[in-house]
Amino acid sequence: MTISMYQASVPAFIRALNNLAAILEKGVAHAQARKIDESVLLNSRLFPDMFPLVRQVQIATDTVRSGAGRLAQVDFPSFEDKESSFQELSLRIRNTIGFLESLQPAQIDGSEDRTISWQTRSSTKSMQGQPYLMNHLLPNVHFHVTTAYNILRHNGVEVGKKDFLGPA
């Protein structure tokens, strides 16, 4: 049995983002229950040279939106990085999921051997579709979702492995 590029990407991205949204909801509840200004959590970092929670969510959504768009060879929406509340981050996640849900398997399947190119801050990168998905997109989205989870956990939000993994 084989797994298609669509099956390996879009459902995994949607699951990760839905789980991230649920984790952020726990962050909101934690802040409200303890009367903590939510900006404290949104701007928290694990280490001074790491991005804060808000940026981790922005990068996770940017990664899946641009990556899926490149695999499907379609224009993908661009979001301004201006979120300053859990509600705004939640909307960003929902909008990203909406874009992902608009993609059809036929748009992504067959992209395994297609050359995918993208611009980083310092250079242009290129990879074949399958390594791009498996070695770049999936690890990146999981890194940023995990880091967002860890920032909230470090700040006392009661989340555990089941929250990260989400419903079975």
**Mean of the per-residue pLDDT values of the chain:** 97
pLDDT tens digits, 144-156: 999 999 999 999 9
Give me the torsion for CA of 49, 54, 55, 56, rounded to 10°.
90
What is the per-residue DSSP string for 91-126? HHHHHHHHHHHH--HHHHTT-TTSEEEEE-SS-EEE
DSSP-derived secondary structure letter, 49: T
pLDDT reading at 1 higher than 90 = no
Q: What percent of the chain has pLDDT over 90?
A: 96
pLDDT digits (tens, 9 = 90+) for 93-130: 999 999 999 999 999 999 999 999 999 889 999 999 99
pLDDT at 168: 79
Whole-model pTM? 0.96
Q: What's the pLDDT tens digit per position in 128-141?
A: 999 999 999 999 99
Options 1.10.3720.10, 1.10.10.10, 1.20.120.450, 1.10.10.60; CATH for 5-111+123-158 is: 1.20.120.450
Strands 124-128 and 115-119: antiparallel
Phi, psi dihedral angles at 35 (to 5 degrees)? 55, 45
CA distance 117 to 71: 10
Encode pLDDT of 36-45 as tens digits.
Answer: 999 999 999 9
Q: How confident is the model at residue 4 (pLDDT cuts 50, 70, 90)?
A: very high
